[in-house]
Amino acid sequence: DSSVKLPLRNLDYHPPRKIRVALVLSGGGARGLAHIGVLKALEEAGISFDLIVGTSIGSIVGGFYAAGFSPEEIRRIIKEVDWKSIFNDETRRTHLFVSQKSTPRRHLIQFRMDGLLPVIPSSISQGQRVVQILYNRLVRANFQAANDFDNLRIPFRAVATDLISGRKVVLKKGDLAEAINASSAFPLLLAPVEIDSLLLVDGGITDNLPVDVALQEGADVVIAVDATSTLRSRDEIDAPWELADQVTTIMMFKPTAENRRLADIVITPDLGEYKGGDFQAVDTLIARGYQAAQEKMDSIRQIIREAEQKEGIADRDLGWVASVKCVGSASLPSRVNLDFLHRRSGRRLTRRDVINDLRTLYQTGYFQNVEALVRRGSDTLQLVYRMEPFPPIRQVTFRHHNILPDSIFSRIRRRLVGQPLNIKTLTAEIEELQNRLIRRGYALAQVREIRYHPESRELEIELDEGFIADIRIVGNRVTRDFVILREFPLKIGDVFQASLATRGIENIYSTNLFHRVLLNLEQEDGRNVVVIKVKERKYMVTRLGAHYSFERRTEGFMEILQDNLLGWATQMSLFGKVGEFSKRVEASFFTVRLLNTLLTARASFYYDERRDRFYRDFTRLKDYTTIRRGGRFMVGQHIGRLGLISLELRIEDVNAVSPDPRFPIREDFRLRTITLRSVVDKRDRLPFPEKGIYNRWYWETGSQFLLGSEVPYTKVFLGLEGYYPLTRRLNYHPFLKVGTADLTLPFTEFFFVGGEEDFPGLYEREQFGRQVVQAGLEVRYRLPLNLPIEAYLTTGYSLLGMWERPDEKLAASDLIHSIWGSLAFNSLLGPVKLTYARLPDYRNRIHFSLGFDF
C-alpha cells in the first residue's frame, strides 16, 4: 500500500489488498496523552494502520498522527501548549493596532445584549485559542485532508456528539482542525462547534471508545487504547465543569465496556493516580502508554497474523513443483533478488504460498502486474511467474507556473532518471517533494498528475502550487465582507501561504467582532477555495467598572457601546464616570481602519470635571477644580501593528478655579490645538508587561491665527521606555521622559507628575511645570506562588526635575529622588497594588489601589 495516492496516467498500479487494521483512541483528558506512547511503541514495532478513530483527546492525538506527525512531534506540540491559558480567547496585544492598544481594558464586568436581554455565555471559552493551536500546526501538516479525511496519510475519523439530536456523529469530511475541535469541545469549558446544522460537543458523551465506528468502517482488526477517566472523589467536585465531567464519566461506563468487548485487543495504560486535567505530566503519561503497548505487542502481532491467514480465497494444496520459471525479469536491476522464487522447486506448495509470493513481488514496487500460472504435465508441475515491470525512465520533467526554484526538483530527478520506475521510490519522492513544498509555506501544493510517455520514456509531473481560485466568507450576517477581507493578506490569484493564512486568522479575530474565526480549504472541480468562517458576537455591549485608591477614593463608570455600527467595524459609545474627585460624560466614534486603508479615526465630545489637590513645597493647600467642555478629532496612519502617526484637533472651553489665595488661579479661555503624535507600542500585555517597548512623542500648538485659540503656545514631549526579561520571572523597566513648552503655556496644560504609577512618593499631580525631565529603572519579579492569580514584587528608583522657565538653571538640589517597593496582584477585579515609597529628605508614603484605571 502507499500513503500518498499517486495520480498516475498511462501507468497502472493497484496496491494489493490486505487486512485493514484500525487503531481506536479513547477520550480521557490528559490521561489520553498516553496514546502518544502507544503510537511510539507500535511504530517502533513496524505495525501500521489503515484507519484511526478518535474521541476527544484521542481525536487530537490520532488526528495529528494521521496527518503525518510523528509521536515525538506530537509530544513537542503538547509540551509547547500553555495549558493554563488554553481557555483564554483574548486577542494577544501584539496582534492589535496601536489605536486599539490605546484603549486598554478598564471594565470589571461586561455583558453583551440581545435586544434588551443580556447574553449568557454557554461556556468559559469560545474555543478560538484551541482552534488557533490546531490550525497553526495542521495547516503545515505533511498531508492535507482537502475536505476528505481519507486523503490523510492514514484515513481518520473523529467522533463528536450532536447536542440537538443527542446522536453520535462520525466526522470524516470537512476541516481537520474543526473536526478535532468539535470532538474535544467539553461542555461548559469550550463552546459547541457549529458544523452545518449540527451543534457538536465532546464525542465522549456518546462514544468514548468508538470501536463500533472502526468496525462499521470495515476494519478487520481493531486495536483499542482505553484511557477513560476514573470517577472523581467527593472533594474533587467543586466547579460546574468538574460536575459535568463526573456526570459524563458515569454516562460513558456502559457503552465503553460494550466497545471493549468488540475490540480484538485493548491496551489499558496504568494511569490510576492521574486525572483528566494533569497536562503537566506529559512525559510520565506517554511513558505509561509506551509500557502498556510493549506488554501487548506479542498479542497484537499474533492477532494480525491470524487475521492475515484467514483473509482471501480458501487455501488448497497444489502438489509438488518440479520447476519454477520467471518471465519478464530480465530488465530488473541486480538488487532485485528472485532467488526465493527458484527455491520453490522440488517443494510442495499451497495456493496461499503462491499468493504470498505474488504479494511479495508486487510490493517491491517494480511491477505493474504480476501473475502465476501452474502448468501440469503428465507427472510434473511447473510454476511460471509472469512479471510486467514498470518501464525505465530517461527523463523527468515538471510542469508548473515557474514560481518554484528548479533546485527543489533536483533530488527526484537524481533518484528516478536512468532507472526502471519503482512505484515505492516514486511514492517516497513525491511525498518528500510535497513535504519540502509545505515546509516552504506552500500548504496547498500538490501533484496533479503523473503521466508516462512511452515513446520518449519521459515521466511528466504536473504540479499545482496552490493558487487561490476563490475566497468566500460564511457567517457574517452584520459585518461587511470588506471588513473581513481587508484583514486577510491573501487574495484571489495568490499562491496559498500557510504563514499568511495564519496571520489572516489572527488579524480577523483581533477586530474583536467575532467569537470564532476558522479557515476551511476546499476543492471544487480542481480549484482551491478558501472559506473564512466567522461566528459573530452580539454588538451591543454594556460595561461597568470601578476603581479605588487612597487618593482618588472610589470611582465608577458605565459604558454603553455599539461595537459594529452598520457592519463597518465602527464603534459608537456613551461613557459616564462618577467619583468623589471626578465626573465625566463622553460620546465617541472610533474606527480602527477607514475602508481598506490603514487610516484610523476617532471623534469624541465630552464634559470633564475633576478636583485635584494643590501642593506647594510638599504641603497641601486647598483643592482646585478644572472643567473641560469640547471635542477631539483624530486621524492617523497605522505603521503595521507597531506604530501610529496621528494628527489631532482639540476644541475645548477650559475653566480652572482655586479658592486658595496662596494659589490664586482663575483661568477661563477657549482652547484650539493641533497635536502631531507618534506612538510605537510593542508591549506584550497590560497590566504588568513582560517585554516590549513603549515610545511616544508629540508636538502640540495652540494657534490664534489658524485656529482662533485664545491661548497660543507650543509644547513638545518625548517618552521612551521598555520592558526586558532577564529570566522567565524577572524583568527590568528603564524609562525616560522629557518635556518642554514656551512661557505662554497655561497652567491647565502644564506637565503634571505624581502618583503610584507615575512617581511613587508624590501625590497625584503634585509636581507641575513647563519643563520636565524624569528617568528611572524598575525591576519586577513574578512570585512562584501556587495561586490562581499572578503576584509580583517590584522595586525601583526614579529621578525628577521640574521647572517653569526654559532659561532657568536646574541645580542638583532641585531634583527629587524616589525609591520604592510594591506588592501587586493581577486579580479578577483588576490589578491590586500596595506600594511603599521614600522621598529622601521629604517624606515616606504608602499607596494602595484596586482595579483598572479609567
The residues assigned a catalytic role are 56, 202
* Measured distance CA(626)–CA(611) in Å, rounded: 7
Angle at alpha carbon of residue 290, lines to 287 and 293, rounded to 5°: 150
Contacts of 536 (CB under 8 A, 6+ apart): 475, 476, 477, 478, 479, 513, 514, 515
CA 696 to chain centre: 30
* Measured distance CA(53)–CA(132) in Å, rounded: 23
DSSP per residue, 202-234: EGGGT-SS-HHHHHHTT-SEEEEE--PPPPPPG
CA distances from 101 to 94, 543, 679 (A): 9, 18, 11
* Measured distance CA(161)–CA(131) in Å, rounded: 18
Q: Are strands 458-464 and 395-399 parallel, antiparallel or unpaired?
A: parallel
Among candidates 662, 790, 796, which has minimal Cα distance to 723?
796
Residue 304's region, left for phi above 0, alpha for psi from -120 to 50, else beta, is alpha
Among candidates 13, 10, 53, which has minimal Cα distance to 35?
53
* Measured distance CA(13)–CA(526) in Å, rounded: 23
What are the backbone angles phi and psi of residue 708, rounded to the nearest 5°? 75, 25
* Measured distance CA(468)–CA(476) in Å, rounded: 21
Is 421 exposed, middle or buried, given 0-12, 13-18 or 19+ CB atoms closer than 10 A?
Answer: buried
Contacts of 723 (CB under 8 A, 6+ apart): 683, 684, 689, 690, 691, 692, 693, 731, 732, 733
Length of the chain measured in residues = 854
Residue 147's region, left for phi above 0, alpha for psi from -120 to 50, else beta, is left
Q: What is the DSSP letter of 789?
A: S
Q: What is the DSSP letter of 149?
A: G
Element (H, E) at 556: strand 553-565
